Amino acid sequence: MKKIDTYTARGQVPHQTTERIKLFDGKFTTGYKVVGFKVAPGNVTGNVSCTGILYTDNDGAGSNDFDWSDNVQIAWAGTRGDFNDGLQAGYETVDTDNLIVEDLFIRCHGSDGLDINYMITLEKYSISDWQGALAMVRSQSQNVTPV
């Protein structure tokens, strides 16, 4: 893998709505790694908190629960805002083994039901065909039933 560049995706998403972040450039020989993920409430005029999850597959992007056993969840973030104290230090965990060839999905939850801000830092890489194929397989929702 050869690093090409670093990008930032930022915006707002509605409370409990899954949004697509378009990354796919039509080639299976380029991929992205999420290296940073932050969320913040859109309204910091009260005691509010918010969480966000990044997914590699829309089929798995319907839950607000952090589930580190779910292979389509690759990053988790949260923060809290308080009118008296301002924004407090946020929580951020990114699976460092992620590689995205197609698109990314985000879902956020806010305690006040309003929009949530997000900022995602991505690195773009030139990859081989087999790395792209492996990343696509890993990024799909694979429902496993316990025995």
Residues 81-125 have pLDDT tens digits of 766 666 676 899 999 999 998 999 999 998 888 899 999 999 999
In a domain, 43, yes or no: yes
Residues 6-17 have pLDDT tens digits of 999 999 999 999
d(CA 93, CA 134): 23
Closest CA to 16 of 120, 140, 111: 111
In a domain, 10, yes or no: yes
In this structure, what CATH number is given to the domain that contains residue 21?
Answer: 2.60.120
For residue 132, the 8-state DSSP code is: H
Domains identified in the chain, total number: 1
Structural domain including 56 reads 2-138
In a domain, 146, yes or no: no
Residue 123 · residue 99 · CB < 8 Å: no
In a domain, 101, yes or no: yes
In a domain, 147, yes or no: no
Average pLDDT over residues 19-40: 92
Residue 19 bridge partners (DSSP):
106
In a domain, 26, yes or no: yes
In a domain, 145, yes or no: no
pTM reported for the whole predicted model: 0.85
